[in-house]
Amino acid sequence: MRSLIRGGSGRGPGRDLRADFFRGLALWFIFIDHIPGNWLGNFTLQNIALCDATEAFVLLAGYAGGLAYGAALDRKGWGFGAATLLRRAGTLYIAHIFLFVVLTAQVGYSAAALDSSAYLDEMHLDAFGEQPYLALLQALMLRFQPAFLDILPLYIVLMLMLAPALPLLRRPVLLLALSFAVYVLVRLLDFNLTTWTGAGWFFNPLAWQLLFFIGCLLGYSRRCPGEAPAAPPSVPFHPALAGLCLAFLLLAFVAILLAWRRPEALAPLPEAVAAVLAGVDKSGEHPLRLISILAIAYLLGHWVPRDAAWLRGHAAAPLLLMGQHSLPVFCAGIFLSFLGRLALEYWEGWGVQAAVNLAGLAAMVTIGAMAAWYRLRDRGEPAPAGIPGSQAAGASALPAPPPASKTAAE
Amino acid sequence: MKALRPLLLLGALLLPAAAWSGTVACGAPEEMLEASDPLPATARAIASGSLRIVVAGSASVLGPGTSSPDAPWPARLKAMLQARHPGLKVDMVVHGARGLTAADTAALITGEAARAPTQLALWQAGTVEAVRSLDVDDMVAALNAGLERLQATRTDAVLIDLQFSRFLRANANVEPYREALRLVAAAHDVPLVRRYELMQFWAETERVDLERAPRNAKVATADRLNDCLAQAVLAVLEEGVAQARAQPAPKP
């Protein structure tokens, strides 16, 4: 498995495996959080911080975007970089529409099978069944986003925003100022893209872009021809700032623990505490959520050494593989979490919980490993022997490994 | 992650333990029924012998699928209150319809409280918003505004959260709405009937499981569910009234 990891064999000293690891972790958490009723959902980031895995994913997506498309910009120019970005956005769009079709088919089937008249008074979940052609059109325009299908539209729009903004990576202060101005304006005016029902997008791209572009700037390091790439920008370590971050995160942790787990314990506290917490919105990426993820990133960035030995150990390998191939793993994760929701809808108990989580994680690691294997093969590099994934073939969202491979059976 | 491990452990320890001891509200664990806040207006009304209650929410307050007009949980609650407090006159006004949002029900409740002195508002919210993926912020704003108006007219309020069903959990993003309701209740010092948790508990312990009830048992199960819900609301009310009585003077 190690040989499939980029920068894992010492050949790519420039790659920051920490970003890959935490992106893998964020993808796993997103899978878990997308299955309400999943017991592991009590242990993801959202239980201990004001932000959740979505923030981590968007920040690190920005980081990877700044790294990859920034390099494309410096090597081959704006046009090439933008075209590559558009192709990515196109792939994401197709994935989104595919997932939409799958989800809609299931909701329609379940709603029809369920005798809901006695019980669920609100059966508008099956919007597709009521106005199929309009629903289809709205879905194609990303204006109809069923529950749990809201991160992909955000990701698509963020990619589309980066394409014109690519040259601004070289003017970090200007990019940050513009991005921040849009964020503040959008929050002040309460502006959001609208969905079919007139509600706003669950993740407002115009607000979330700030986190994404911060990630882009952290990932970008300018390369001039004939020179070694400059070191990517970093926020220097300062004990006072680190202490502030830690204090903020601890305070938020205590507040969340009380609010989520023991709401009655909030009673002796001033009502303002709960009022502030109730006002922390996710759609518009509330400043406290933003501060929360940036504080976590700052502390982890300084406390986890870039060359930490455990990053090159066996335990980190599965998450590294997931994080290094986040596009297929993310899309598959959304699909797998959908299967997980179905499983928990029909069965309950420890057995199905364990099966959903083990199969889901194994499938995502397998998909990461397969993506790594394809990449090596496409580049003409010797593909390593042994695809570590046959254990999870049953839950895999992608077709089996290529028939030409004699390694697949091992 | 190593540094986070103790925190995660702490979080695990603080998770509500599933207590099976309770016998009230169809076997629901007692901590699901804790009212965190006193209900002074209701306590005074019960003492004076006349209590006016407004119930508002989406269609579930009408007890869809039940056998008779006496079966929906507001009617059951009224009967239980009168049984527990003989001689108490209970005026129960119920407003509910398919698809009503928190903004709609806020208008119904505050309008009703303005029409006649009302001591208690039972406000069910969240299901419609979750099903239609409406803005969480809009729901929070409507609840905040409504609860402030009720506080101004000295009307006690009790929030009731979403219905549980496996189908809803699989197909709607219920968690943000549940969280928002918990926080709004805490922010206004208002008790919250955790209907979602209760119904999940009843379903998973096979006490009352409407979703999986056989077709010929649907009506009886719906009756039973409404009766259990009424018991749960009653438990929260009794706790809030007891807390109010323990306080020497009503809140200014």
State the DSSP string of B103-130: HHHHHHHHHHHHHS--SEEEEE-SHHHH
One-letter identity of residue A336:
L
Convert the pLDDT of each residue in B11-44 to its tens digit: 444 444 333 334 578 888 887 887 668 999 999 9
Distance, in Å, from the CA atom of A184 to the CA atom of B168, rounded to the nearest integer, reads: 35
Q: How far is CA B106 from the centre of its chain?
A: 15
- A396 pLDDT band (50/70/90 cuts)? very low
Q: How far apart are the first and last CA of chain B?
A: 47
- The Cα A354–Cα A365 span in angstroms is 16
- CB of A203 within 8 A of CB of A150? yes
Q: Would you tell me which residues 260-279 of chain A have a C-beta closer than 8 angstroms to some C-beta of chain B?
A: 260-264, 266-267, 271, 274-275, 277-279
* Residues B51 and B202 sit within 8 Å (Cβ to Cβ): no
> Nearest-CA distance from A375 to chain B in Å?
30
- Say yes or no to pLDDT of A405 above 70: no
- Would you state the pLDDT for residue B211? 83
Contact A233, A218 (CB under 8 A): yes
- Tell whether the model's pLDDT for residue B162 goes beyond 60: yes
What's domain B37-243's architecture? 3-Layer(aba) Sandwich (3.40)
The answer to whether the beta carbons of residues B98 and B58 sit under 8 Å apart is: yes
Amino acid (one-letter) located at A379: R
Name the percent of chain A lying above pLDDT 70.
82
Mean pLDDT of B146-151: 94
Show which of residues 104-123 on chain B sit within 8 Å of chain A, judged by CB atoms.
none
Reading the block at residue A286, the tokens are 């509330």
Q: Flag the least confident range among A99-113, B32-46, B207-221.
A: A99-113
The shortest CB-CB distance from A124 to any of B132, B166, B175 is to B132
- At A19-53, the pLDDT tens digits run 999 999 999 999 999 998 899 998 999 889 999 99
Number of alpha carbons in the 13 Å side-chain half-sphere of residue B122: 30
Radius of gyration of chain A (CA): 22
Within 33-72 of B, beta carbons closer than 8 Å to A belong to: 34, 36-37, 58-60, 64-65
pLDDT of residue A102: 86
- pLDDT at residue A264 in the model: 58
Look at residue A116 in the predicted model and tell me its pLDDT.
Answer: 52
Q: Name the band, by pLDDT with cuts 50, 70 and 90, for residue A113.
A: low
